[in-house]
Structure 1
Amino acid sequence: MTSDLRLMSVHAHPDDETITMGGLLSLCADRGIATCNITCTDGKLATIFAPDMPEETHRPRLAEIRQDEMREAARILGITEIHFLGYGDSGMAGAETNTADQAFWVAPLNEDVGKLVEHIRRFKPQVVITYDGNGGYGHPDHIQTHRATLLAVEAAYSALYPEAGPPWEVQKLYYTAFPVSSMKRAIEFAKAAGMEPPFGADDPEDLPFLTPDHLVTTTVDCRTTIMRKREALRAHRSQITTDFPLLAIPDEVAPQFADEFYQLVISRNQSELHETDVFAGLPSEELAATR
C-alpha cells in the first residue's frame, strides 16, 4: 500500500547514503514510503580504490562516475528520487582544497540552506536524516552538510526563503550513528574468525566516527534488506572494494550486522527513548498506511 510518509536523507558525497542508511532506505521502499536523497557535493577529490580505474584516465571524470554510481545504488535500494546540489568536494580537513572556489566548505551557508529548504518544502518529508555536528568523522563536507540541514529543517517552517514555497514542518530529525558497542562486537567477530578487524582497528576507541551508546535512540532491523545494501555498496565501485567490512563477511553472517542506528535530535511528537522505527510517534493514520 502506498504511504503518505516521506523520508529525506541529506549526505555529503555519493556512497554516504548507502554506507550509513542503505538498509533503512530499502526498507522504506518495501513499505511504500517515498524517499528523497540529497547529495551535496560531487565527491571528485576522493581516493579511487578500484584497481581497474587508473588515476590518469578516471580522475578527470570522477564526479560523473560517482553520480552514475549513485544512480545505480539508488535503483538497487529503491530510492524514489535523488538530487545533486552540485558543490565541489572540499577534500579532507586541512587540505588546500578546503578553500577552493567551488568547495562546499566555503559556500555561503545561506545559499546551502536555501537549496535544502526548497527541497524540503517541495518533497514534504516527515523525517529528515543527516550527520551529527562532527559530520561523523570530521570531514568538512559532512560538517557543512550537518550545519545546512539543521538550519534548513528549522527555516523550512518559518517565513524565511518565501521564494522556496509554502512552509513545511519536519516532524523528526535524526543523525546517523555507529554505536561503540556494535563496532566492538564486529571487531570481536573478526578476530575470532581470523579476519582483519573493521577499518584495521583493534579497539573501538581508535575509530573517530563512532557514537557513544547512550546517544543512540533508534535501532532499525534491516535483516530483510541487508543483501540489497551490500549490492548497493558494490555499485559504488570507485570507492568501496571487497574488503569493506560489510562486504568482507560471508553472506550467511551479514544479517548479524544488519542493524542501522540513529540519534533522534528533534521531534515534534511524543517519542520513545528507544525506537525501532524512525516513523514512530507520527500520526496513526499515516503509520497505518504502511502496515
Structure 2
Amino acid sequence: MSAPLRLMAVHAHPDDESSKGAATMALYRSQGVDVLVCTCTGGERGSILNPKMERPDILENITEVRRLEMEKAREILDVDQQFMGFVDSGLPEDENEALPDGCFALQPVEVAAAPLVAAVRAFKPHVILTYDDDGGYPHPDHIMTNKVSVEAFEAAGDPDRYIGLGEPWQPLKLYYHMGFTRERFEALHQAMTERGIGSPYGDWIARWEDRPQKWEVTTRVRCGEYFETRDLALMAHATQVDPDGFFFVCPRELQQEVWPTEDYHLARSLVDTELPEDDLFAGIHAGEITRATA
C-alpha cells in the first residue's frame, strides 16, 4: 500500500482507551497502522477508584495527574493522543441530579463534535472506534461520545459542513466496542470455576437481563498476545484502576486461552465486507485508502 492504514479511537475520559480496545490498538500498531486516540474530556470529575491513591495531593491536582497518566498509557500503547478540550460531566448519583454547567454532555452536538471533525480531517482515519448509543454504560460523557463520533463520521466528508475545520475526509468504517458481553463473561466464569479459581462474575451474569445486549458482535480481532500491553496501559491510570480489582481478577493466561479477542459491532461501512469479520480493515483495499470523500 502506498500509505499506512489509520485507526482513530474516540473515548470519553483518560483510561477508557486502555479498558476498551487497547490490545486491538497495540496489535495494529505492530502492523504499522497509525493510531490516534481522541479523548473528549480531561476526566476532571472522575473519582479516585484505586484506594491506594486516595491522597490529598492527588485530589487537589486530579486534572494534571490524569493527563500524566494518559501520557504514560499513550507511550505504552505506542499511539498518538489528543484531548478534545471538554470538561468531564461526572457521573450523577441519581437520574434527577443536574449535570454541571458547561460540561461535555450538555454541549450542543455540533459544538461538541467540532474538535473531533477537525481531528478526523487532519488525521484521515479509515476506521473509527467508539461506544454504542447507550455509551457502553450510561455515563453521560460516554453517551455524548457516541453522538459526536457518529456526527463526525457522517459530517467530516461533507464540504458544506463544519466549514473552516480542514479539508473534507470520509472515514470508511465505524465500530462500537462490544467488550462487555454476556457470552464473554459466561465463558470466563465457566473457565475460572472449572479451574477452582473464585469467579466474581456469577452474580453479574445472573442479573444480565437488566442490561440486554442491543448490538450483535460482528467483528472479533484476535489480539490476546497484546493483553499484557493492555494491562500495563490500564495500570498506568493508577488513580482509576485498582491492580487488585475487577480488571485483573481473571488471570491473563486464562483470558488468552478462553477469549483471545476484542469484539466489535460494525455500525457503519462504506465498503463491502463479509460478516463476521476478524479485521477492522476488512474491505479496505489499496485502491480505496486514499479516498477522502464519500
**Do both proteins adopt the same fold according to a TM-score greater than 0.5, normalized to the shorter chain?**
yes
| 1:175–1:262 Cα contact (<8 Å) kept | yes
Match of 1:278 in 2: 280
Match of 2:39 in 1: 39
| 1:7–1:125 Cα contact (<8 Å) kept | yes
Match of 1:27 in 2: 27
Q: What is the CA distance between 1:197 and its match in structure 2?
A: 1.6
Q: What is the rounded CA distance, in whole Å, between the counterparts of 2:203 and 2:47 in structure 1?
A: 18
Q: What is the CA distance between 1:201 and its match in structure 2?
A: 1.9
Partner deviation per Cα, 1:157-207 (whole Å, 9 max, x = no partner)? 112012011111110000111332111112223333332424962426167
Alignment CA distance shift 1:97-1:64 (3 Å) = farther
Q: What is the CA distance between 1:254 and its match in structure 2?
A: 3.5
Q: Tell me if 1:82 matches 2:81.
A: yes
| 1:48–1:239 Cα contact (<8 Å) kept | yes
Q: What is the rounded CA distance, in whole Å, between the counterparts of 1:107 and 1:116 in structure 2?
A: 14
Q: Tell me if 1:203 matches 2:206.
A: yes
Amino acid at match of 2:204: A
Q: What is the rounded CA distance, in whole Å, between the counterparts of 1:219 and 1:240 in structure 2?
A: 25
Percent of paired sites with the same residue: 33
Match of 2:65 in 1: 65
Amino acid at match of 1:203: A
Alignment CA distance shift 1:272-1:77 (3 Å) = same
Match of 2:265 in 1: 263
Amino acid at match of 2:84: L
Q: What is the rounded CA distance, in whole Å, between the counterparts of 1:237 and 1:110 in structure 2?
A: 33
Secondary structure at the aligned position of 1:174 is classed as strand
Q: What is the rounded CA distance, in whole Å, between the counterparts of 1:115 and 1:197 in structure 2?
A: 40
Secondary structure at the aligned position of 1:184 is classed as helix
Q: What is the rounded CA distance, in whole Å, between the counterparts of 2:188 and 2:250 in structure 1?
A: 10
Q: What is the rounded CA distance, in whole Å, between the counterparts of 1:150 and 1:102 in structure 2?
A: 22
Partner deviation per Cα, 1:242-282 (whole Å, 9 max, x = no partner)? 23444223343241233100000111110111000000100
Amino acid at match of 2:173: K
Q: What is the rounded CA distance, in whole Å, between the counterparts of 1:120 and 1:45 in structure 2?
A: 27
| 1:41–1:88 Cα contact (<8 Å) kept | yes
| 1:126–1:170 Cα contact (<8 Å) kept | yes
Alignment size in residue pairs: 284
Alignment CA distance shift 1:135-1:276 (3 Å) = same
Superposition map of 1:96-135 within 5 A: 98-135=98-135
Q: What is the rounded CA distance, in whole Å, between the counterparts of 1:2 and 1:271 in structure 2?
A: 21
Higher helix share: 1
The unaligned stretches of length 5 or more in structure 1 are none
Q: What is the rounded CA distance, in whole Å, between the counterparts of 1:96 and 1:30 in structure 2?
A: 46
Q: CA RMSD in A?
A: 2.3
Match of 1:16 in 2: 16
Q: What is the rounded CA distance, in whole Å, between the counterparts of 1:49 and 1:199 in structure 2?
A: 22
Superposition map of 1:231-242 within 5 A: 231-242=232-243
Match of 1:176 in 2: 177
Q: What is the rounded CA distance, in whole Å, between the counterparts of 1:265 and 1:10 in structure 2?
A: 14
| 1:42–1:63 Cα contact (<8 Å) kept | yes
Q: What is the CA distance between 1:101 and its match in structure 2?
A: 2.3
| 2:220–2:264 Cα contact (<8 Å) kept | yes
Match of 1:253 in 2: 254
Q: What is the rounded CA distance, in whole Å, between the counterparts of 1:201 and 1:45 in structure 2?
A: 27
Q: What is the CA distance between 1:228 and its match in structure 2?
A: 0.7
Alignment CA distance shift 1:226-1:237 (3 Å) = same
Secondary structure at the aligned position of 1:201 is classed as helix
Q: What is the rounded CA distance, in whole Å, between the counterparts of 1:242 and 1:207 in structure 2?
A: 28
Higher mean alpha-carbon deviation, 239-248 vs 65-74, is at 239-248
Q: What is the rounded CA distance, in whole Å, between the counterparts of 1:185 and 1:121 in structure 2?
A: 40
Match of 1:227 in 2: 228
The unaligned stretches of length 5 or more in structure 2 are 290-294
Alignment CA distance shift 1:3-1:180 (3 Å) = farther
Q: What is the CA distance between 1:223 and its match in structure 2?
A: 1.6
| 1:24–1:222 Cα contact (<8 Å) kept | yes
Amino acid at match of 2:16: D
